[in-house]
Amino acid sequence: MRLREKVALVTGAGSGIGRATALRFGAEGAQVVCVDAAGDAATETARTITAHGGEAIAMVADVTDEAACARIVAETLARFGRLTTLVNSAGVRPERRDPTPALSEWQRVVDINLTGTYLASRAALPALAASGAASITNLASIFGLVGGATSSSYAASKGAIVNLTRQMALEWAPRVRVNCVCPGVIETPMTAELRADPAWADAVLKRYPLGRFGQPDDIAAAILYLASDEAAFVTGVALPVDGGYTAG
């Protein structure tokens, strides 16, 4: 098992990429802390892991709440004694594609996507650094690398995550490796409304050389690699997993 003896905290574990990642980590031997703002969803992910022979617990937290981020790290340490792995998967998309979003919408997206990533990382980094062989994997986006069919608030938040990843990788080396994954459009509840628009879906799908949108497991596999000891010489990387979208 590739994550045996790892203790992994996964935010946004209740659905989509976060859930797929938590399930994959559990199957690969990690002790998994499933964190989500929706407690029932986090509990269901943890139950699925344990039903398949893994070890997991659920916690409810809003990653924009500094005290909540400190609490989930403290509770992880109390339960498992250490923390080796953080996956910052909690995130939102804008309510609509808008080149000039209202300040309230801008703030919501940036607070959850970017500030939430920072606060969870800030809370976890001392414990990670103390554990040895530790890693953080952040969830950015292809729209953090290039412009495209999204909102300025989303692109700005994800572009900032890419550079935050690089900065943390430099600041915390060699104690903690920090990388990010940049997914293309993934078939999750977050993108369901967009994909339901045939005009949008057909136009965007033409940009994907592999001819399909991604699945949550496609991203979970990349995160698994970055969190494993197989990636021991990998840090500061923004890895596109996008069916070739950014190659064009």
Q: Which residues are catalytic?
A: 154
Cis peptide before 174 (omega within 30 of 0): yes
Give every CB contact of residue 29 below 8 A, 6+ residues apart in sequence.
Answer: 1, 2, 3, 4, 5, 6, 54
Site of tokens 């399930």: 23
- Closest of 75, 171, 189 to residue 118, by C-alpha: 171
Q: What single-letter DSSP state applies at residue 4?
A: T
Return the number of other C-beta atoms located less than 10 Å from residue 45's C-beta: 26
Query: What 3-state class would DSSP assign to 79?
Result: helix
Separation of alpha carbons 238 and 162, rounded Å: 6
Q: How far apart are CA 34 and CA 1, in angstroms?
A: 19
